[in-house]
Amino acid sequence: MSLGERFSLKNRLARLARLAGGIGLSLGLLAGTLVTTQAAHAEGRIRIAEQFGIVYLLLNVVRDQQLIEKHGKAEGLDITVDWQQLSGGSAVNDALLSGAIDIAGAGIGPLLTVWDRTHGRQNVRGVASLGNFPYYLLSNNPNVRTIADFTEKDRIAVPAVGVSVQSRFLQYAAAKQWGDDQFDRLDKYSLALPHPDATASLISGGTELTGHFSNPPFQNQALKNPNVHVVLDTYELLGPNSPTVLYATEKFRQDNPRTYKAFVAALAEAAAFAQNDKGAAADTYIRVTGARIDRGELLEIIDNEQFQFSVTPTNTYPLADFLHRVGAIKNKPASWQDYFFEDAAIGQGS
């Protein structure tokens, strides 16, 4: 069994375990949760799925300071918050559409995929951005300096093949390199791995994995190895952009207006906190995630002018337009406002 197959199996089993909620559901009932949307729960409960990396720091702040609970009380509401950690846009979208979570945390790529597929039905749309961050495509193969240098001997780790924002960025780059008709040319070299596992494999070497489309802090940790180098920088590809976002179904937003309002207010407060006090933000990340990273190293990563903690979506539309152009999504959005809920709290995006 290959490295990708082993981790793919592990991810599928972990996804099923998480969706079961640890309460021993039968396989038949569990399978039902994957295809049947659960009935909406009453106001005062919210279930949030996050993934790995500094890009989810706003959620770490929200959790650490109990900001949803705080803003809920301002609305006269006691809110129970459940936190889950998943890996990859496919797992997150499965959980959202099955009714296992209320708020999905993933890349703009998975949002656009699920927005398109639920258009006119569940009507999934974005809630907010988690900030602007550059993502790096890395390699430990000295012969790979551009994406054109990858061959059938190389494998590129992404959180979810063909769905994750990293996979979509790779497709965008491939279309620029070879034309729109070959946008998915590198998909056959891609495999799904969580960032921590992909980072460890890239650093250690000796496997078929020679590339990793990463995110901070994992990309920074990998680059400490002199054998690892940057092949592609998404800021050079697209300009500053919001790669990671939060999204929800229209029904959850409509059925839980006070809970939803408290959540967005909590995010906005967390963004102001993280942007204005990077030291405290670094402490929060380490405390909440238990990450084994030196505080000084972490602070150096986030105290970077390219990093901006903000709930306002930035420069997301070029990717949306591209995905429609190549047929990856059927519905063409007229602007970013088509796939984000209208909310004054998140400002004027793009």
CATH number at residue 333: 3.40.190.10
Count of helix runs (H) and strand runs (E) in the chain: 15, 10
In this structure, the answer to whether residues 253 and 116 fall within a common structural domain is yes
Q: Considering the domain boundaries, does residue 25 fall inside one? A: no
Q: Which domain holds residue 61?
A: 37-132+242-346
In this structure, the answer to whether residues 162 and 200 fall within a common structural domain is yes
In this structure, the answer to whether residues 264 and 307 fall within a common structural domain is yes
Q: Which among 184, 208, 238 is the end of a domain?
A: 238
Q: How many CB atoms lie within 10 A of CB 170?
A: 30
pLDDT of residue 3: 54
Q: Considering the domain boundaries, does residue 275 fall inside one? A: yes
The pTM of the full predicted model, rounded to 2 decimals, is 0.85
In this structure, the answer to whether residues 265 and 285 fall within a common structural domain is yes
In this structure, the answer to whether residues 146 and 101 fall within a common structural domain is no
pLDDT of residue 292: 87
Q: Which among 219, 238, 257 is the end of a domain?
A: 238
What angle is formed at CA 338 by the lines to CA 333 and CA 340, rounded to 5 degrees? Answer: 130
User: What's the chain's average pLDDT?
Assistant: 89
How many structural domains does the chain have? 2
In this structure, the answer to whether residues 159 and 215 fall within a common structural domain is yes
pLDDT of residue 22: 35
In this structure, the answer to whether residues 201 and 246 fall within a common structural domain is no
pLDDT less than 70: residues of the chain = 1-42
209: helix, strand or coil: strand
pLDDT digits (tens, 9 = 90+) for 75-88: 899 999 999 999 88
Length of the chain: 350
Q: Considering the domain boundaries, does residue 66 fall inside one? A: yes
Residue 106 DSSP label: E
Q: Which among 223, 238, 253 is the end of a domain?
A: 238
Q: Considering the domain boundaries, does residue 184 fall inside one? A: yes
In this structure, the answer to whether residues 338 and 255 fall within a common structural domain is yes
Q: Are 215 and 135 in contact (CB under 8 A)?
A: yes
Q: Considering the domain boundaries, does residue 14 fall inside one? A: no
Q: Considering the domain boundaries, does residue 23 fall inside one? A: no
Across the chain, the runs of DSSP E, i.e. the strands, are: 45-50, 80-85, 103-107, 125-129, 136-139, 155-158, 190-192, 209-213, 229-233, 244-248
Q: Considering the domain boundaries, does residue 213 fall inside one? A: yes
